Amino acid sequence: MSVGEAFYPGRPAIDAYGNGGFRFAEMSHKGSLLVLPSGVYDWSPVAFEEVTVASFALVLAEHNELEFLLFGTGEEQRFPPDDMRRAFDEAGLGLEVMSTGAACRTFNVLLAEQRRVAAALIAVN
């Protein structure tokens, strides 16, 4: 699994993104993030090309708690390969792909609406 040791319990809104990281819950984090019902985790991919189905192991493990995942693919929207989409389909979990900025904004709106949403966010400069 590609989740680092950094962990924050809860699912806070993303206050800011850029400069290689994120701000949330009055804290800052350098690097990519997974924001799940179980908490916020450091996520090891630094580029879209590094993301594999295995990168989403924790997301797929929590699929019963979610409607869909917002996947922030970096500066630009990039579409995942078929095996990744298939893994989400098999789990009954939606996968919405967009740039990281759009994913952060959309996540905050859906979180405020109390939707069952998660986010996988590749850090951007």
125 residues of the chain, pLDDT tens digit each:
345 556 777 789 999 999 999 999 999 999 999 999 999 999 999 999 999 999 999 999 999 999 999 999 999 999 999 999 999 999 999 999 999 999 999 999 999 999 999 999 999 99
**Helix (H) or strand (E) run with residue 100 in it:** helix 100-112
Contact 121, 103 (CB under 8 A): yes
Instruction: Give the CA radius of gyration of the chain.
Output: 13
Domain that holds residue 97: 3-121
Query: What CATH number does residue 45 fall under?
Result: 3.40.1230.10
Total number of domains constituting the chain: 1
pLDDT, residue 123, reads: 98
Instruction: Determine how β-strand 117-121 pairs with β-strand 32-36.
Output: antiparallel
pLDDT, residue 1, reads: 38
